[in-house]
Amino acid sequence: MRTKVAIIGAGPAGLLLGQLLHAYGVDNVILERQTPEYVLGRIRAGLLEEGTVALLEKVAAAGRLHQEGLIHHGIELAFDGARHRIDMHATTGKTVTIYGQTEVTLDLMNARKAAGLTSIYSAAEVKPHDFDTDHPRVTYVKDGVAHEIQCDFIAGCDGFHGVSRASVPASALKTYERVYPFGWLGILSETPPVSPELIYSNHERGFALCTMRSTKRSRYYVQCPLDDHVDQWSDQRFWDELRRRVDQKAADEMVIGPSIEKSIAPLRSFVAEPMRFGRMFLAGDASHIVPPTGAKGLNLAASDVHYLSQAFREFYDDKSSAGIDGYSARALARVWKAVRFSWWMTSMLHRFPDEGDFAARIQIAELNYLVSSQAASTSLSENYVGLPF
Ligand code: RFL
Ligand code: PHB
């Protein structure tokens, strides 16, 4: 098989890149290790920046999002027993949209199917080759049969544990990492959200987040030790802990019910530089990870593939390599700002086991400053709603 761009990974980065390239007339094939059902079963992000929504509109995959997505103008910060609202729209003129990653993925899968583009799911042993030449290839095994795709470019959109970054010689990569000494235990439940906007709570027992997927479905998280297992967390224990970590009004008003999903995610900041190796390009979690506190992971995947699709469009339409030559620096400039913001939100809101009361007081002072200073809350807001791209 031959194509212009072979995309490894059918998460949001790979699927959105595929549709953007299709819109620019650049043919592409997607190779995914898992089945479509498995990909759709992963409960992850829930919050989209306006720039991400605009890209989904561009590829005609935003119809359901506009019907079902919830537009939020602000967030709430809970600390010291009280809740304070940050009106992001008032200071930035922008909003965010609550719409689950599973729904974004499903809409992109359907758009891809409707466009008749090739996606190969359950592809085993996917491997990029010869990306340091003008004739890269990707090999894979499907139903026990070995295949090869010849292409002009490879896009590594295969997440943190993917094969693309792992295929680059270690000497060509510089990595930066911070592993946080805690995780997030998340549950999904068929209960109305406790509040119409998200509540981020700094509490002496640890961080908690009240978010949602719809007006009928809630998503809640509590900070937990890294070595905890989900089976140690009955639904009752989770609800008791969550209610202790929010303000009294939220605790009283919270509707509880059985969990329909429960999982623990470790928190990490990670960047691998550069994002280009000859004719292979990395995008999304394949090249960077942010802790979920700033809700930036999926949105960064979207800005990466926006830059990358533009670069390929310039290459084919304008016969210019400027875009592909500039891709890594352009994408990394935005990535690092989101890495900083996510690290800062994480540092301000979580309990760090090795840090004592001094650090906790500094957090509260910072939160008090944030909710009382127009300059500080504007700074939070413009990062939260998404820096331009
Ligand atoms: P993905 O989604 O991991 O997709 C990669 C795909 O590649 C496939 N793959 C392979 N395919 C072929 N061959 C191989 N060898 C392969 N290896 C892997 C995988 O099966 C998979 O289908 O990466 P992508 O597309 O870059 O998307 C990134 C986002 O998924 C991620 O950044 C977000 O989920 C992060 N995130 C959030 N981001 C936000 O923008 N807003 C949020 O509110 C938000 N909340 C979250 C989050 C992540 C969380 N967890 C679980 C880490 C909340 C949580 C709890
Ligand atoms: C989510 O809805 O899952 C979500 C929202 C905001 C975050 C993290 C996760 O900061």
Q: Are residues 326 and 369 in the same domain?
A: no
In a domain, 83, yes or no: no
- Neighbouring CB atoms inside 10 A of 99's CB total 26
Q: How far is CA 182 from CA 15, 16, 226, 384, in A?
A: 31, 31, 5, 22
> For residue range 136-147, what is the model confidence (pLDDT) as tens digits?
999 999 999 999
In a domain, 153, yes or no: yes
- Residue 129: give the domain boundaries: 5-73+95-176+268-346
- Neighbouring CB atoms inside 10 A of 279's CB total 19
Counting every residue written for the chain, the total comes to: 389
Q: Is 388 a catalytic residue?
A: no
Instruction: Check whether 43 has a pLDDT greater than 90.
Output: no
Ligand nearest to the CA of 119: 1
Q: Which residues does a 6 A CB cutoff place in the pocket of ligand 1?
A: 8-14, 31-34, 39, 44-47, 101, 123, 126, 157-159, 162-163, 184, 186, 265, 284-285, 292, 295-299, 301
- Average pLDDT (186-212) is 97
- Residue 31: strand pairing partners: 8, 120
Catalytic residue among 140, 200, 221, 307: 200
- Average pLDDT (7-18) is 98
For tokens 């990653």, name the residue. 101
DSSP 363: H
The answer to whether 178 touches 291, Cβ cutoff 8 Å, is no
Which two structure tokens, joined as six digits, stand for 272? Answer: 């691998």
Quickly count helices (H) and strands (E) in the chain: 13, 20
Q: Is 384 a catalytic residue?
A: yes
Q: HSE of 107 in the Cβ direction (CA atoms, 13 Å)?
A: 24
pTM value surpassing 0.95: yes
Q: Is the CB of 293 under 6 A from ligand 2?
A: yes
Ligand 1: nearest atom to the Cα of 285:
26
The answer to whether 315 touches 321, Cβ cutoff 8 Å, is yes
Looking at residue 42, its pLDDT comes to: 87
Edge-first strand listing for the sheet containing 259-273: 82-87, 74-79, 199-201, 208-212, 218-224, 174-189, 259-273, 288-289
Q: Are residues 256 and 323 in the same domain?
A: no
> For residue range 322-356, what is the model confidence (pLDDT) as tens digits?
999 999 999 999 999 999 999 999 999 999 999 99
CA of 317 from ligand 2 middle (Å) equals 38
Share of the chain above pLDDT 90, in %: 98
> For residue range 81-135, what is the model confidence (pLDDT) as tens digits?
999 999 999 999 999 999 999 999 999 999 999 999 999 999 999 999 999 999 9
**Confidence at 19, pLDDT banded by 50, 70, 90:** very high
CA of 366 from ligand 1 middle (Å) equals 31
Q: Are residues 247 and 312 in the same domain?
A: no
Instruction: Check whether 72 has a pLDDT greater than 90.
Output: yes
CA distance 189 to 66: 23
Looking at residue 44, its pLDDT comes to: 86
Sign of CA dihedral 215, 216, 222, 226: negative
Q: Are residues 33 and 147 in the same domain?
A: yes
Instruction: Check whether 45 has a pLDDT greater than 90.
Output: no
Task: Find how far residue 355's CA is from the centre of its chain.
Answer: 28
Q: Are residues 243 and 298 in the same domain?
A: no
